[in-house]
């Protein structure tokens, strides 16, 4: 393989530092060429840039290299442009670079230092930034985002019969969806950035009161989080399984072939389950463990992924309902809000005003999850259209493998439809090279615009990390408060939850909302990466689970089956006992 991948572009000379922090949650594996170019570079990243400009921290003329400099792809791996993000800390009167870095990285030792650039300071933007912050601290909903939710639901509801569509029809649908990705990510960008405002202000207020641990509790149980809704629906389906001897027996026989077995049964229980599950897939089939990558399976394209999660959830007792957990966290939040409000009042109107504004600003986390869910619905519509194109040309013998269609470049789609046979060999070669990329461990940072050649990348799994022993502490960043003691269950792939049992502690490499159904059987969650506004944290707070993120190498250091204590207040994960 050459030292550069086919879709690699040069780093930005203006903003030269990139990071996998948070990016690894979004795209954990190397992106396919079509996903990178069609969905991201010519769709999502344009909307990301537009949203940054609309939020007031940037002007459009700052993005000068012909491609949005908000992010980058190197060796197919997705990176957020750290230098670019830091402008929000430099230019905002209410945020510093240090606070922003802490939200992104915790205490990661390799964070490149901030070095001022002559163009960083933009006093001309302060008025607009403050205006936007004022809006954030007085806004609890965005009607445009709610309308986009209905629009993306309608996209699925009105999906044409793709199997009957011509190649040209499929390409037309894909091209129709591409600018929609830009529009939807434009809506997503401001609340994604603004989600850090409430944690930052509440952290400062609670620290001033000598109660720093209270800040996270004020952000728990906020409610109406779209990315948690599939978990609640899975819970309801799992109760149907748990209450039926027939369905329990069917699940006990294994997830493989489960739908076929139930489809052949004529019982009321089997038919009711299938109806519920079909509706679940219609409503939430766009979700999956790598849902931003169009070549990856989702619950719709591989229902066994969702069934595997339901199989674990059904083992929980009825008393472990996530709605009960969420209600408890919401009640605690309301009580603590009143308590802190009373303590802040005597300290002056300014501090009290900041506190009230931060409470309102916490709504941005739910808005962020809604905008993300909207985008994922549109991404899935691209996915199924491209998959149909690959399926039919593999059946016709024009592709050796249906997945080879994802090796196309954006500019090649129409050419492929015109002469598919000519792409057979080139796409097969690219596919083999892309599979090699999946074996590489991308560097966590790209610093000073220097991208290491592919030959220098380490292989995944080669790093030598010592297992923690009894008494050792794996330190992370507090996510959702609370302490919990349980058995560690290391899971590297959400499609294979293995022997995850109720009460276990999920130890995961990264998590996006598609992982979160596996949160429900757990007593706590520990994640290798993540930050104060990670999806794992937002959903853990919604489900009422102690959570620690940015616990570096937790999946390698914590022995599977070890008895551990998770402290969601301090971020400490203590090994109490290791399996013999």
Q: How far apart are CA 293 and CA 28, in angstroms?
A: 9
Least confident of 34-38, 530-534, 547-551: 530-534
What is the arithmetic mean of pLDDT over 400-412? 98
Which range, of 251-255, 316-320, 424-428, 461-465, averages the lowest pLDDT? 461-465
Mean pLDDT of 114-132: 94
Sheet holding 547-549, edge to edge: 473-475, 572-577, 563-567, 483-490, 505-508, 524-527, 547-549, 477-480
Average pLDDT over residues 571-576: 95
Q: How confident is the model at residue 423 (pLDDT cuts 50, 70, 90)?
A: very high
Of 371, 369, 231, give the one whose Cα is nearest residue 312: 231
Answer with the residue of higher pLDDT: 197 or 164: 164
Contact at 8 Å (CB) between 11 and 449? yes
Q: Is residue 538 over pLDDT 80?
A: no
Range with the largest mean pLDDT of 110-114, 234-238, 321-325, 492-496? 234-238
Instruction: Tell me how far apart the alpha carbons of residues 162 and 510 are, in angstroms, rounded to a whole number.
Output: 33
User: With 70 as the cut, is the pLDDT of residue 357 above it?
Assistant: yes
pLDDT of residue 532: 63
What string of DSSP letters covers 359-415?
A: HHHTHHHHHHHHHHHHHHHHHHHHHHHHHHHHHHHHHTTS-SSGGGGGGS-GGGHHH
Q: Which residue has the higher pLDDT, 22 or 5?
A: 5
Task: Please check the confidence at residue 258 and state whether its pLDDT lies above 90.
Answer: yes
Closest CA to 423 of 435, 405, 396, 403: 405
pLDDT at 281 over 90: yes
Instruction: Provide mean pLDDT across the span 442-446.
Output: 93
Residue 1: the pLDDT is 62
Phi, psi at residue 383, to the nearest 5°? -55, -50
pLDDT in tens, 474-528: 998 888 888 999 999 999 888 788 788 999 999 998 777 667 788 888 999 999 8
Range scoring the smallest mean pLDDT among 200-204, 438-442, 530-534, 572-576 = 530-534
pLDDT at 510: 78
Once rounded to an integer, what is the mean pLDDT over residues 259-276?
96
**How far is residue 507's CA from residue 491's CA, in Å, rounded to a whole number?**
6
Q: Which tens digit of pLDDT belongs to each residue from 128-176?
A: 999 999 999 999 999 999 999 999 999 999 999 999 999 999 999 999 9
Give pLDDT tens digits for 206-228. 999 999 888 888 988 887 888 88
533 has pLDDT over 80: no
Confidence of residue 78 (pLDDT cuts 50, 70, 90): very high
Task: Calculate mean pLDDT across residues 534-543.
Answer: 75
Of the chain, the percentage scoring pLDDT greater than 90 comes to: 70
Rounded CA separation 15/112 (Å):
12
Tokens standing for 177?
Answer: 């969806």
pLDDT of 94 above 90: no
Q: Return the higher-pLDDT residue of 3 and 264.
A: 264
Query: What span, in angstroms and rounded, lies between the C-alpha atoms of 479 and 362?
Result: 15
Answer whether residue 334 shows pLDDT above 80.
yes
pLDDT above 90: residue 73: yes
Mean pLDDT for 83-100 is: 88
Phi, psi of 186 (to 5 degrees): -55, -40
* pLDDT surpassing 80 at residue 109: no
Residue 102, pLDDT score: 75
DSSP secondary structure, 51-70, as one string = HHHHHTS--GGG--SSS-TT
Average pLDDT, the chain: 92
- DSSP strand E in 181-296: where? none
């Amino acid at each position: 393989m050459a030292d550069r991948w086919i879709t690699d572009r040069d780093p930005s000379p203006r903003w030269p530092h990139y990071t996998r922090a948070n990016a690894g949650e979004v795209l954990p594996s190397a992106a396919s060429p079509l996903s990178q170019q069609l969905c991201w570079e010519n769709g999502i990243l344009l909307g990301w840039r537009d949203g940054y400009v609309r939020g007031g921290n940037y002007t459009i003329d700052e993005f000068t290299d012909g491609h949005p400099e908000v992010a980058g792809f190197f060796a197919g791996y997705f990176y957020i442009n750290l230098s670019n993000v830091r402008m929000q800390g430099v230019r905002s009167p209410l945020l510093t670079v240090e606070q922003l870095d802490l939200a992104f990285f915790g205490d990661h030792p390799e964070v490149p230092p901030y070095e001022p650039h002559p163009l960083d300071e933009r006093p001309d933007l302060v008025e607009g930034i403050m205006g936007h912050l004022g809006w954030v601290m007085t806004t609890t909903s965005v009607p445009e985002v709610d309308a986009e939710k209905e629009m993306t639901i309608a996209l699925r509801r009105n999906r044409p019969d793709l199997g009957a569509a011509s190649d040209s029809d499929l390409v037309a649908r894909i091209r129709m969806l591409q600018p929609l990705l830009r529009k939807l990510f434009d809506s997503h960008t401001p609340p994604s950035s603004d989600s850090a405002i409430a944690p930052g202000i509440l952290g400062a207020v609670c620290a001033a009161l000598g109660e720093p641990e209270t800040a996270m509790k004020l952000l728990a149980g906020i409610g109406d989080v779209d990315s948690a809704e599939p978990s609640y629906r899975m819970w309801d389906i799992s109760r149907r399984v748990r209450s039926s001897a027939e369905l329990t027996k069917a699940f006990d026989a294994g997830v493989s072939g489960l739908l076929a077995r139930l489809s052949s049964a004529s019982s009321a229980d089997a038919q009711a389950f299938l109806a519920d599950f079909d509706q679940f897939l219609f409503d939430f089939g766009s979700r999956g463990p790598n849902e931003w990558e169009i070549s990856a399976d989702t619950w719709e394209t591989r229902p066994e992924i969702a069934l595997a999660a339901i199989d674990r959830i059904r083992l929980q007792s009825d008393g472990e309902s996530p709605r009960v957990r969420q209600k408890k966290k919401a009640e605690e939040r309301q009580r603590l809000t009143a308590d802190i409000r009373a303590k802040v009042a005597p300290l002056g109107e300014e501090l009290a005003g900041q506190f009230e504004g931060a409470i309102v600003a916490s709504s941005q986390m739910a808005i962020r999850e809604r905008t993300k869910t909207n985008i994922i619905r549109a991404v899935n519509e691209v996915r199924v259209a491209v998959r149909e194109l690959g399926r039919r040309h593999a059946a016709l013998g024009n592709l050796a493998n249906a997945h080879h269609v994802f090796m196309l470049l954006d500019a090649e789609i129409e050419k492929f439809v015109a002469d598919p046979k000519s792409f057979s060999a080139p796409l097969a070669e690219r596919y083999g090279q892309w599979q090699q990329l999946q074996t590489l461990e991308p560097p966590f940072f790209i610093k000073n615009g220097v991208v290491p050649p592919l030959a220098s990348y380490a292989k995944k799994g080669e790093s030598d990390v010592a297992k923690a022993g009894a008494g050792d502490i794996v330190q992370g960043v507090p996510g959702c408060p609370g302490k919990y003691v349980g058995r560690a269950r290391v899971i590297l792939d959400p499609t294979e939850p293995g022997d995850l049992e109720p009460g276990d502690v999920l130890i995961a490499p990264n998590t996006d909302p598609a992982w979160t159904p596996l949160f429900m059987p757990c007593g706590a969650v520990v994640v290798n990466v993540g930050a104060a506004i990670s999806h794992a944290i937002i959903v853990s707070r919604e489900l009422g689970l102690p959570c620690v993120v940015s616990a570096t190498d937790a999946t390698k250091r914590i022995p599977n089956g070890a008895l551990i204590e998770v402290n969601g207040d301090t971020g400490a994960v203590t090994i109490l006992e290791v399996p013999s």
